[in-house]
Amino acid sequence: MLQRVFVDADVLAARTPFEWLALLRDETEDWFQLHSTSGAVAEAVLLWTAQDPARRGGTSGRRHDLLVASLDEVLATRAGRSEADPADAAAAGGAHVLLSSRAGEVAGGDELPFEVYTVDEFLCLLDDTAAAHVRRVTERQQDRHHAGAASRGLVESLTGAGCPAFAERVSRHLR
């Protein structure tokens, strides 16, 4: 069954983990889809530009367009709904999974109609169930990183982006 994965703004704002999600979604084809809301996309762009004010203007517009293009569905933000509550948006969107760096803070616990993971946990879950796909994406990412003169290594990039467990798995795939 195709899994609907709702991506919170904090995950959308983190370039490296979201890139891996999108690449693995494409590699695994019909395993999962990535969804979010228009409000979460807007919040992600604000978070992204706050990290480096030089990103304002045209760069933030391109980031918005890239995020929208990378998602399978962008749900309209419903009036009166709080974007600070990703569980509400995920439930309204029929999600099977909610990805948030604040997974431990999501209210509802066992009562929620979906699983809640950090992006690191979800990427590790993908590696548990689809290691060959993760290995292929790792190889393509390694080729791309070697092509970039000043790029950090894959493992360092993932670790710095808050995905240390998945970074260790990528390290094993590289060996």
Query: pLDDT digits over 106-160, tens only?
Result: 766 668 889 999 999 999 999 999 999 999 999 999 887 765 544 458 899 999 9
Domains and CATH numbers, the chain: 3-174 (3.40.50)
Q: How far apart are CA 42 and CA 129, in angstroms?
A: 32
pLDDT of residue 79: 52
Nearest to 100 by CA among 22, 44, 25: 44
pLDDT of residue 150: 41
DSSP state letter for 68: H
Give strand ranges (E) for the chain. 3-7, 32-37, 73-75, 97-99, 115-117
Top mean pLDDT of 85-94, 109-118, 148-157, 165-174 is at: 165-174
pLDDT of residue 110: 67
Q: How far apart are CA 102 and CA 169, in angstroms?
A: 22
Query: pLDDT digits over 13-58, tens only?
Result: 998 999 999 999 999 988 999 999 999 999 999 988 887 776 666 6
Enumerate residues 6+ apart whose C-beta is below 8 A from 50: none
